[in-house]
Amino acid sequence: MLDAETFAAGVREALRGLGRAGGLRGSVLLHSRAVASRAGRGAGPDDRAASLSALLRETAAELQAAPRDRRAHRALHHTYLQPAGTQQRAADLLGLPMSTYRRHLAAGVSRLTEELWRRELDS
């Protein structure tokens, strides 16, 4: 089992690799219990990567449903899920100054990590 610190670093790494072909193949989260239970016993690296991608996207979508997490979700969405290209462009799309955008993004990554960690512990 991954420890909380390694898991959190893995979430940040996975978010950066989410939009790239093969960007999740080396993720430490491929060995997490949540991904293993989702992908199924004996799943190969590609199936695990697809499961991790789906898990990240579904968990982020749950943040959108919670009123207190909507701003954080929007920052995650325009940065990692459907990237705007640059953080400045994402901030512009959201109508936010960079400092506010970065605060929302940090909150989004934190909340996403919390939810994924909860799932990991429940798996």
Per-residue pLDDT of 32-50, as tens digits, reads: 999 999 988 888 888 999 9
What single-letter DSSP state applies at residue 19?
A: T
Given a cut of 70, the residues of the chain with pLDDT beneath it are: none
pLDDT value, residue 90: 97
Contact 91, 98 (CB under 8 A): yes
3-state DSSP percent of the chain in helix, strand and coil, to 5: 75, 0, 25
pTM of the model: 0.92
- Of the candidates 101, 24, 22, the residue with the CA atom closest to the CA atom of residue 57: 24
pLDDT value, residue 63: 93
Q: 80-90 burial, b if ≥16 CB within 10 A, otherwise e?
A: bbeeeeebeeb
Specify the DSSP element, H or E, that contains 14: helix 4-17
